[in-house]
Copies of this chain bind each other. A is one copy, B any other.
Amino acid sequence: MNKRPPRQPRQERAKATVEAIVEAAFSVVAERGLQNTTAQHIADKAGVGIGSFYEYFPNKEAVFEELFRRLRDDTVQIIRELTPAMVKLPVREAIRVMLMRVGDMLRREDGKYLRCARHAMRSDIAIDREPIERELRDLALQYLLQHPEYLKTKSNPSISIYIFIHGGMHAFIHHMNERNPVISFEELIDGLANMIGHYLEREMQMVETADISRGNDA
C-alpha cells in the first residue's frame, strides 16, 4: 500500500530510539519523580511503543541509571574542562566558577536535568560517584601544584573532599530545587566558597602557627 520510509541504517535508527527514550526519561522523571514514573510514561513521551523500550533497556531501572550516569559524566566533564582555568584562580573564585558552571549545566532545558539530579541524589539506585570524587581529587592536586603554599596543610584532604562532595553537593542541589529558598543562589555559592576558602586558609594559618611554635622551640 503506502511506501515504507527509507529504512535507516540499523545502528543509527536504534541510536535515535535510545536517545529519544533517554531524553523522554529526563523529562518524565523531572516532572513526576522516580516513583511516579512508569515505563509506559517514558515510552509515550518518547513516541515509541512500550515494546521498544524493553528492546533497548532490560528494565525500568536501567534507564534511570543511564540518566544518572549522564548527569555524573557531564559533571565530571565540566570539572575536567574547567580544571586548567580553575587552578590559576584564587580558591573562592575557582569554586564559584565551578558551581556556576555546574549550575548552568543543570538548568539546561528548563531545569529538566536539575530536577532529575535531585531525584538522583535521593534515589536508592546506586550510581558510582567515584568518578566525581576522582575528578575533584585531581582538581585538588592540580590546584596544590599551582599553589604550593597550601601543600603544607597537614590534615587529611580526603576528609574535606568527603564532606564537600556529600554535604556541599547535597546542599547545592537541594537549594537549586527549592521554590522559596531562604537564601539566594549567590549567597549559597558564596557560602560554599567561603566554607572551603575559610577552611583552607585557616588550615594554613594553623600550620604556620605550628611552624612558628616549633621554630620557637628550636
Residues of A within 8 A of B (CB): 1, 4, 32-33, 35-36, 40, 44, 121-124, 155-156, 158-160, 162-163, 166-168, 170-171, 174-175, 182-183, 187-188, 190-192, 194-195, 197-199, 201-203
Q: A interface, by DSSP: helix, strand, loop or mixed?
A: helix
CA distance A198 to B205 in the complex (A): 10
Query: Contacts A168-B167, A183-B156; is A175 near B162 (CB within 8 Å)?
Result: yes
Is A1 in contact with B32, judged by CB distance below 8 angstroms? Answer: yes
Q: Whole-angstrom distance from the CB of A117 to the nearest CB of chain B?
A: 14
Point out the residue from B123, B163, B175, B197 that lies within 8 Å of A191, measured CB to CB.
Answer: B163
In the bound assembly, the distance between CA atoms of A194 and B122 in angstroms comes to 26
Docked complex Cα distance between A201 and B170 (Å): 25
Partner pick for A171 among B158, B166, B175, B182, CB 8 A cutoff: B166
A199 CB contacts on chain B under 8 angstroms:
194-195, 198-199, 202
> If the complex has contacts A162-B182, A167-B163, A167-B168, are A203 and B198 also in contact, measured as CB distance less than 8 A?
yes
